[in-house]
Structure 1
Amino acid sequence: MLSLISREELKKGIDAGTLVVVDTMPAAYYEVEHLPGAVNIPGFPYEQAAELTDRYAPDVLPDKTAEIVVYCANVPCRNSELVGSRLLRLGYSNVRKYREGIEDWVGAGLATTTG
């Protein structure tokens, strides 16, 4: 099970540049809106989450010791759990999950990025 990170702690890490943030939404959603500096590893469709993580992780996450935070839409969304768990299996040593997701981030009035 992935350990969790709070919105406040995540914002501090993004502002300080100490975290690698991974948006686990499908690419089309990522293009519309994501957390600042986030890279994309789609975790949906769920059946393809492991395969997609295996494909994208080496390019977007070259450092297996980096402090990584995965997120998706909201608490019920499973993308971040699937991608984060797979990253741990692939040997990434410091992966946490922002359980509340981008809905919480936007709801708190924090900035997002497009493209």
Structure 2
Amino acid sequence: MKIRRLAPALFFCFLLPAPAVAESKFELETARETEAVRLSRDTQAGGYQLLTAAELKKMIDEGTPMLLVDTMPYDASYRKEHLPGARQFLFPVARMSAWDTKETDGRTEADFIALLGADKNKPVVFYCGFVKCTRSDNGAAWARKLGYTQVYRFPGGLFSWKGADFPLEAVP
């Protein structure tokens, strides 16, 4: 008898959220589309290529010579965890159209060139925390502006790397 009284309540509990779920599914897709288009436009404007976590892991596992650059703050992020072998160079989230040492933790364009090295054909991979983070876009775009030819951005960054259950390092 108690089950018969609960049945309509349970029915409505499962039925009523359906429009809200359907609506959020569409809103989520709209947000994904916006991010995908932004990523595509940033990539085109920056003139670099994109890598997935699996592609980057394969390059690392195969011993592909490259420079891997973490573009997030040293103390708040890099020191705690970063991709194996990555070097740190801070870039701002907002598009950096001119070099600004206030936005790069006091480092100059010459410091960035020193990090990148003289071989402009060596692969250079930039990453930050997650797809919406555009610090890696700034790093990759600046490397291309400076004439580096094999420039990649790993847009999924730390979140994607962790999601794939790949190893991380920390500064001791």
Q: Give the TM-score normalised by the residue count of structure 1.
A: 0.88
- The runs of 5 or more residues in structure 1 that have no matched partner are none
SS in 1 for 2:120: coil
Work out whether residues 53 and 164 of structure 2, in 8 Å CA contact, stay in contact via their aligned partners in 1: no
Change (3 A) 1:114 1:55: farther
Q: Which has the higher helix share?
A: 2
Name 1:31's counterpart in structure 2.
Answer: 79
Q: Which has the higher strand share?
A: 1
The superposition leaves residues 18-37 of structure 1 with CA deviations (integer Å, 9 ceiling, x where unpaired) of 13211111111111110010
Change (3 A) 1:53 1:98: farther
Work out whether residues 92 and 138 of structure 2, in 8 Å CA contact, stay in contact via their aligned partners in 1: no
Name 1:10's counterpart in structure 2.
Answer: 56
Number of corresponding residues:
114
Q: Which has the higher contact order (CA 8 A, sep 6+)?
A: 1
The share of aligned pairs that are identical, in percent, is: 34
- Asked which structure has the greater CA Rg, the reply is 2
Name 1:57's counterpart in structure 2.
Answer: 112
- The runs of 5 or more residues in structure 2 that have no matched partner are 1-42, 97-102
Structure-1 separation of matches of 2:108 and 2:126: 12
Name 1:22's counterpart in structure 2.
Answer: 69
What is the RMSD computed on CA atoms of the aligned residues? 1.9
Superposed structure 1 runs of 4+ greater than 6 Å apart = none
